[in-house]
Structure 1
């Protein structure tokens, strides 16, 4: 099964925002990861002041729907209203993930190529030719998803 969810980006207040969303929708976070939890990578250094910020958080809204988010952590494109969300596609096969990525990235901009990540998913990010941000993921067995 393929699901589509919303992924929100924040500048240091993701945890506060998600505590608010949890008060609205109820439930419990299914994952909370901080930048300090990431393995060290010289290509993507994390400054000490960002260590406690949210790298990834998930709040199940229903069986089929998940609200996800992160702080920008000083990485990537500066956050502005309008580019502070992505559409997240979770597929049930690596082949579907590759197909969606290839088609959506045509005439767009690849932010991160599809690759195996430290959390175990096969994952990539792009902005399509219409300026919409997409995150595509296949959760292999044993990953955090």
Structure 2
């Protein structure tokens, strides 16, 4: 299963943030301006630099990311119906990632010991994405 995250004009910024937090390889990014030219459907200059599609590998998960300009899609609603679960390899990694995601975000459940995990916490990052950080 892959994950697809849609942003409103912040995809490039979010990609850089996630690359740093999860220490990933740089994402493969295509902008709207890089799409093949089509005279019947020209790309508006205001969206040429926005992310059409990107692939970011976080551990073994492919996270696809794009901007969703309202001129091309229905309005994007940030909701609580999707959360990404990151299974840390060490307690230190769990703490570091949780703290970085919480910066300018909201801690929903502090990172702490639970009956099922050594550490578990929930955070909504600065882009409104819910993350569950797990260290078993």
User: So what's the TM-score if we normalise by structure 2?
Assistant: 0.52
Q: Which runs of 5+ in 1 are unaligned?
A: 86-145
Residues 31 and 10 (structure 1), Cα distance of their counterparts in 2 relative to 1, 3 Å cut: same
Alignment of 1:29-48 (within 5 A): 29-41=26-38, 44-48=41-45
Aligned-pair Cα RMSD in Å? 2.4
Q: 1:66 aligns with which of 62, 68, 87?
A: 62
How many matched pairs? Answer: 81
User: So what's the TM-score if we normalise by structure 1?
Assistant: 0.49
Contact 1:10 1:84 in 2 (8 A): no
- Give the Cα separation in 1 of the matches to 2:38 and 2:80: 25
Task: Determine helix, strand or coil for the equivalent of 1:58.
Answer: strand
| Deviation beyond 4 Å, 4+ runs, structure 1 | none
Q: Name the larger-Rg structure.
A: 2
Contact 1:9 1:84 in 2 (8 A): no
